[in-house]
């Protein structure tokens, strides 16, 4: 007997359109059951998807995708969309290599018209689609779905400022008061203020429907009343941000009430102008633990995979301890307090904790301002999100030689989230910025040393670390010599050297074990990459006329990577072969062997074959 009466019949959005209202509501219940049953097994974003089931069904019942265009901001809340667009069978491989992505992805389905992974991009992309359809003379609609967390991102407001009022564009503002952590800032307060005016907007909707039904003069009367209404409304209720930008505004409405959402979407569609539809959903809807703690269930790990104490938590605790002893230290995050391990700092020293919202550019320049006035800011940010602030790193921090420390979290490959979240570009772009020092700790002890060095530095510092746990044996295995550490005696270096840093030391150690007895091999572990010349000089100490192979292994891009920059500084003897194992000019590997590092050419077997 099939478990799902309705879901088992759904192969495309056309099947959803043909459902009766009762069947559509039953489908929503079945989808929730599917998500609650399957996502804790595979891992993935749970709470946000539970909150958007009715919205997604309503969208597919009202619009004609893919002729119309549907763009999800971030894309992590697209699971219902994927379930009803023919990808249900792929959920067993959700967020696994070779399986379906946890985000929208253009190469995966014609229904994913625009890829995502980072926040606050949907409105810009949607306006681009809507303008393209206008230029083509098309009647197609473009719909962007974004949460109120994404609304704190400055890119959304740049896009709204550029939005003409006569586009067939509908922006769904899904308010659940969360991004990953609790939303903060003036725009979060603005959304709450708009929501508080719900009585006014309910009255407005009823009046609009009545006036438009008046024969012959309904639309002219509507435009006249609309002008008068705005002046009166501004006096009584205050201005509405969206209407002040020239956008038509509908809402707020219960986003978990499919019937009401469909009604509002049809009204927005009939308006034939750029419209904001404001809905209010419950993150984690239908699953009590997720409703009570949506942050915890924002993203769940696969069954049986326990979260180890990682570098993020350790960095947060170290920073909190440092800040208790140094009143200049401040912690800055861009809506990622939990992910970057700063919740403890927030609780212990709230007056020096700053969550600036999803605004990495602002976070960096804000940190520069703190530093210029004598404070010691530490900005914790995922490597992939730091990409957004490249100009700020150069113009506002490095050029002025300000002592800002960037804690570059999630450095290296992202096993679940995929290419949008790979932290593999930061080393090349940081190596190219003057003034920056770059630390690459491989264990918690070296992380603490790096953070203490950053506290007293007179220039900007980047400390990059992966989403993994401690390797406590590093201190016993490796002895420090000037700028590097080795697992061999410096007066008797082996003929084959593996140079590496960060998480790649695990790969190097395993390769060294496999090579034992076959070839003399040793590891040079780098705890910093820049300044580069002292690092290169430290490596040269162990390169002799008898050195046969030097393999530089790194979990980052080859072009512009440390192995390229530092490798060029090495004066290798004649006959010594230099191999740079890094990620080639690709975002993702087409291979799927089950060993992700091997897929990217930086696995144990790659190291071994470079030496034997």
Which residues on neighbouring strands pair with residue 146, listed in sequence order?
Answer: 173
Q: Contact 337/298 with Cβ under 8 angstroms?
A: no
Name the H helices within 63-197: 79-83, 122-135, 154-161, 186-196
pLDDT for the residue numbered 206: 67
User: Does the annotation count 54 as an active-site position?
Assistant: no
Catalytic pick among 87, 95, 258, 283: 283
* Catalytic, out of 262, 360, 527, 554: 360
Nearest-angstrom CA–CA distance, 382 and 392: 16
pLDDT digits (tens, 9 = 90+) for 215-232: 766 666 766 766 665 565
Which bin fits 175, alpha (ψ -120 to 50), beta or left (φ > 0)?
A: beta
pLDDT at 184: 55
Q: Where are the beta strands (DSSP E) in 255-362?
A: 275-280, 299-300, 329-333, 353-355
DSSP 523: E
Predicted confidence (pLDDT) at residue 233 exceeds the cutoff of 70: no
Q: Identical fold at 7-197+240-300 and 311-464?
A: yes
What does the pLDDT read at residue 231? 63
Distance (Å, whole) CA 54 – CA 77: 12
Tokens (6 digits) for 168: 């067939």
Tell me the CATH architecture of domain 311-464. Answer: 3-Layer(aba) Sandwich (3.40)
The arrangement of strands across the sheet holding 461-464 comes to 353-355, 329-333, 376-382, 405-409, 461-464, 437-439, 528-530
Flag whether 149 is marked binding: yes
Question: In the annotation, is 230 catalytic?
Answer: no
435-450: b (≥16 Cβ within 10 Å) or e: bbbbbbbbbbebbbbb
Residue 252, preceding peptide bond in cis (omega within 30° of 0)? yes
Cβ atoms of residues 477 and 511 within 8 Å: no
Domain ranges within the chain, ordered by starting residue:
7-197+240-300, 198-239, 311-464, 474-611
Residue 453, both tokens: 């060095």
What residue has token string 């967020």?
95
Above pLDDT 90, what percent of the chain? 80
Q: Annotated catalytic, 260?
A: no
Instruction: For residue 397, give the DSSP letter.
Output: I
Q: Which CATH number fits domain 474-611: 3.40.50.920, 3.40.50.300, 3.40.640.10, 3.30.70.1290?
A: 3.40.50.920
Largest CA distance in the chain: 97
Q: What is the pLDDT of residue 16?
A: 98
194 pLDDT above the threshold of 70? no
Confirm if 405 and 460 have CB atoms less than 8 A apart: yes
Helices (H) and strands (E) in the chain, counts: 26, 20
Digit-coded pLDDT (tens) for 134-175: 999 999 999 999 998 899 999 999 999 999 999 999 999 999
User: Which comes out higher in pLDDT, residue 297 or 502?
Assistant: 502
What band does 273 get if pLDDT is binned at 50, 70 and 90? very high
pLDDT bucket at 568, cuts 50 / 70 / 90:
very high
What is the sign of the dihedral through the CA atoms of 275, 105, 179 and 337?
A: negative
Reduced to 3 states, what is the DSSP secondary structure of residue 209?
A: helix
What mean pLDDT comes out for the span 325-341?
Answer: 97
Asked if 95 and 416 touch (Cβ cutoff 8 Å), the reply is yes
List pLDDT tens digits, range 51-61.
999 999 999 99
Q: Which two tokens stand for residue 185?
A: 């800032």
Q: According to the annotation, is 357 in a ligand binding site?
A: no
Q: Is 141 annotated as a binding residue?
A: no
- For residue 140, what are its two tokens? 């197609």
Residue 81 assigned to a binding site? no
- pLDDT (tens digit per residue) in 200-214: 546 666 676 676 677
CATH 3.40.190.10 is held by the domain 7-197+240-300: no
| Residues sharing a CB contact under 8 Å with residue 503, sequence separation 6 or more, in sequence order | 411, 412, 442, 466, 468, 555
Cα torsion 425, 428, 433, 435 to 10°: value is 100
Please answer whether residues 427 and 554 qualify as being in contact, where contact means their C-beta atoms are separated by less than 8 angstroms. Answer: yes
Residues 422, 104: Cα–Cα separation, whole Å = 16
pLDDT of residue 215: 76
Contact 565, 591 (CB under 8 A): no
* Helix or strand run (H / E) with residue 289: helix 288-292
Instruction: Give the H/E segment covering residue 253.
Output: strand 248-254
- Cβ–Cβ < 8 Å for 374, 330: no
Mean pLDDT across the chain = 92
For residue 578, say whether it is annotated as part of any ligand binding site: no
476-506 residue pLDDT tens: 999 999 889 999 998 989 999 999 999 999 9
Tell whether residue 360 is among the known ligand binding residues.
yes
N-terminal to C-terminal alpha carbon distance within the chain:
57
45 annotated binding-site participant: no
Taking Cα atoms as reference points, which of 380, 383, 339 lies closest to residue 363? 380
CA 110 from chain centre, in angstroms, equals 23
DSSP-assigned letter for residue 579: E
**Alpha-carbon torsion 6, 7, 11, 12, what sign?**
positive
The residue-averaged pLDDT of 551-580 equals 97
Give residue 178's pLDDT. Answer: 54
Rounded to whole angstroms, the Cα distance separating 527 from 280 reads 48
- Angle 535-541-542 (CA atoms, 0-180°, nearest 5)? 110
Kindly name the residue from 61, 388, 464, 530 that is annotated as catalytic. Answer: 388
pLDDT at residue 196, rounded to an integer: 43
């Amino acid at each position: 007997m099939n478990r799902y009466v309705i879901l088992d019949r759904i192969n495309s959005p056309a099947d959803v359109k043909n459902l009766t209202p009762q069947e559509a509501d039953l489908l929503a219940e079945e989808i929730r059951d599917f998500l609650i049953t399957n996502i804790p097994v595979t891992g993935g974003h749970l709470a946000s998807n539970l909150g958007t089931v009715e919205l997604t069904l309503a969208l597919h019942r009202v619009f004609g995708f893919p002729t119309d265009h549907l763009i999800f901001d971030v894309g992590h809340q697209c699971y219902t969309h994927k379930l009803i667009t023919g990808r249900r069978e792929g959920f067993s491989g959700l967020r696994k290599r070779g399986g379906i992505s946890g985000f929208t992805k253009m190469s995966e389905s014609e229904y994913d018209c625009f890829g995502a992974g980072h926040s606050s991009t949907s409105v810009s992309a949607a306006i681009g689609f809507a303008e393209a359809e206008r230029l083509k003379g098309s009647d197609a609609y473009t719909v962007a779905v974004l949460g109120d967390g994404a609304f704190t991102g400055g890119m959304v407001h740049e896009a709204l400022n550029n939005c003409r009022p006569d586009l067939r564009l509908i922006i769904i503002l899904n308010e659940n008061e969360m991004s990953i952590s609790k939303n903060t800032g003036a725009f979060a307060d603005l959304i709450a203020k708009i929501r508080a005016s719900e009585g006014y907007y309910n009255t407005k909707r009823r009046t609009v429907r009545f006036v438009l039904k008046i024969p012959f003069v309904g639309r002219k009367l509507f435009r006249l009343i609309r002008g008068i209404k705005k002046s009166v409304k501004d006096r009584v209720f205050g201005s509405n941000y969206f209407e002040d930008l020239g956008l038509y505004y509908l809402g707020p409405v219960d986003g978990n009430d499919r019937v009401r959402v469909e009604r509002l979407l049809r009204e927005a569609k009939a308006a034939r102008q750029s419209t904001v539809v404001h809905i209010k959903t419950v993150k984690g809807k239908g699953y009590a633990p997720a409703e009570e703690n949506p942050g915890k269930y924002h993203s769940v790990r696969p069954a049986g995979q326990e979260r180890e104490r990682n570098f993020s938590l350790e960095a947060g605790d170290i920073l909190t301890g440092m800040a208790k002893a140094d009143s200049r230290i401040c912690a800055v995050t861009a809506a990622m307090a939990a992910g970057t391990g700063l919740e403890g700092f927030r609780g212990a020293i709230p007056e020096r904790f700053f969550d600036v919202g999803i605004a990495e550019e602002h976070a960096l320049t804000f940190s520069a301002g703190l530093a210029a006035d004598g404070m010691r800011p530490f900005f914790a940010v995922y490597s992939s999100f730091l990409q957004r602030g490249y100009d700020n790193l150069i113009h506002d921090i490095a050029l002025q030689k300000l002592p800002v420390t960037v804690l570059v979290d999630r450095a290296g490959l992202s096993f679940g989230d995929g290419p949008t979240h790979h932290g593999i570009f930061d080393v090349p772009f940081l190596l190219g910025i003057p003034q920056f020092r770059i630390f690459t700790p491989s264990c918690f002890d070296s992380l603490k040393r790096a953070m203490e060095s950053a506290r007293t530095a007179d220039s900007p510092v980047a400390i990059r670390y992966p989403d993994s746990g401690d390797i406590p044996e590093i201190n016993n295995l490796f002895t420090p010599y000037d700028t590097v550490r080795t697992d061999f005696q410096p007066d008797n270096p082996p003929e084959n050297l593996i140079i590496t840093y960060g998480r790649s030391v695990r790969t190097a150690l395993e390769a060294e074990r496999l090579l034992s007895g076959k070839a003399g091999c040793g590891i040079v572990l780098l705890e910093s990459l820049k300044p580069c010349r002292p690092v290169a000089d430290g490596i040269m100490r162990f390169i002799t006329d008898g050195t046969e192979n030097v393999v530089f292994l790194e979990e980052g891009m080859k072009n512009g990577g440390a192995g390229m920059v530092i490798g060029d500084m090495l004066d290798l003897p004649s006959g010594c072969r230099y191999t740079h194992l890094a990620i080639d000019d690709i975002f993702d590997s087409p291979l799927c062997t089950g060993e992700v590092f091997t897929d990217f050419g930086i696995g144990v077997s790659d190291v071994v074959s470079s030496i034997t």
